[in-house]
Amino acid sequence: MAKSKKKSIWVFGDYRNYYQNRVTLQLLSKAVDLSKTINAEVCALIFGHEVDEWIMEYTAHGADRILAIDDPALQSYSTERYLAIIEALTRQREPEIILIGATDFGREFAPRLAKRLHTGLSADCVGLDITEDGLLLQIAPSFGGNMLAEIVTEHHRPQMATVRPGTFKERPHDYQRKAVVERLPLMKNLPKPRVRLIEYERSVEKEHTIENASVIVCGGRGMGNREKFKKLQELARLLGGDVGATRPVVYSGWAEHGALVGQAGKHIKPKILFSFGISGAIQHTAGLGEADFIIAINKNPQATMIKMSDVAIVGDASDVLNNLIKELKKRIRE
């Protein structure tokens, strides 16, 4: 198998459903930016059965090269098999960088791959860049999330990182783009999976799309109770947006986990963000990096959220919420 001479940034194609596919597209977009700085090509890895749709999709989103293995034996994701395949390909082709979405599957196999390749891995990165020396700068929460660490892998290759969904913005489809597509045969002697998928069914929990919402109404502990928190839905509905929440709110059961915004949850990029009764702890604001315009409502004028907002309203969260809903309804009727 010919080794491509140019440096290569690999993106693992996780396409199992809409949400996992989005993180792959976001990684491809970032990989394109990084590739310009180090003069590398962007290569997407696609394993599975009947994967042509994904070859087109990843080409349209920035891949210069696709390494695809299309075989019924790869119909369901298997950590052991995927590990064996990527390990072998990595040893043959020596990519500079491998980026993997921090999905459940990515989190399971990325550390195993790093161990096999005897290299480092920064998990759950919230930023990536290239240093002056051409190394991958991996920005990841550390010390229980109280600090952001900047990590480089100086001596070992590939440089590996997993990245949270929603951290980067995907590019628009460009169906004019072309990529070199290498269709590889399934390797011989792959390990027999110890886990066999018998059947699967989708979770009935509503899958949140707050990463893509352009208006988000986010609520914190300052909403007071579940009933008052629920009222945020009404404002979100009127504005065509979605509801986000802080960790105490999720832990209290006022909102489901999919609504969590911040280091342990989603990274959001709305055009308008309403922040009701939220103090602005760093673990929460870590998820707000790309919000365009923030309107914060808090009874404490010193709250961080108030200080970092574009419009600050100092007052009772529920009073402001109810007045806003009333006013909006009035304007819609007029």
Ligand X SMILES: Cc1cc2nc3c(=O)[nH]c(=O)nc-3n(C[C@H](O)[C@H](O)[C@H](O)COP(=O)(O)OP(=O)(O)OC[C@H]3O[C@@H](n4cnc5c(N)ncnc54)[C@H](O)[C@@H]3O)c2cc1C
| H/E run at residue 291 | none
How far apart are CB 218 and ligand X at their closest, in Å?
9
How far apart are CB 177 and ligand X at their closest, in Å?
35
How far apart are CB 129 and ligand X at their closest, in Å?
22
- Residues 268, 215: contact at Cβ < 8 Å? no
- Residues 164, 126: contact at Cβ < 8 Å? yes
Main-chain dihedrals φ then ψ at residue 293, nearest 5 degrees: -140, 125
Spatial distance between the Cα atoms of 41 and 300, rounded to a whole number of angstroms? 50
How far apart are CB 126 and ligand X at their closest, in Å?
11
Nearer to ligand X, 51 or 320 (CB): 320
Nearer to ligand X, 100 or 261 (CB): 261
| Residue 325 tokens, joined | 């809903």
DSSP 8-state class, residue 85: H
Spatial distance between the Cα atoms of 22 and 258, rounded to a whole number of angstroms? 15
Interhelix angle 104-117/79-93, rounded to 10 degrees, is 50
| Residue 225 tokens, joined | 């109770």
Nearer to ligand X, 177 or 299 (CB): 299
Nearer to ligand X, 20 or 263 (CB): 263
DSSP 8-state class, residue 74: G
Nearer to ligand X, 45 or 303 (CB): 303
How far apart are CB 293 and ligand X at their closest, in Å?
19
How far apart are CB 319 and ligand X at their closest, in Å?
8
Nearer to ligand X, 81 or 164 (CB): 164
3-state class (DSSP) for residue 99:
strand
For binding to ligand X (CB under 6 A), which residues are involved?
Answer: 144-145, 220-222, 224, 246-249, 260-265, 277-279, 281, 283-284, 298-300, 303, 316-317
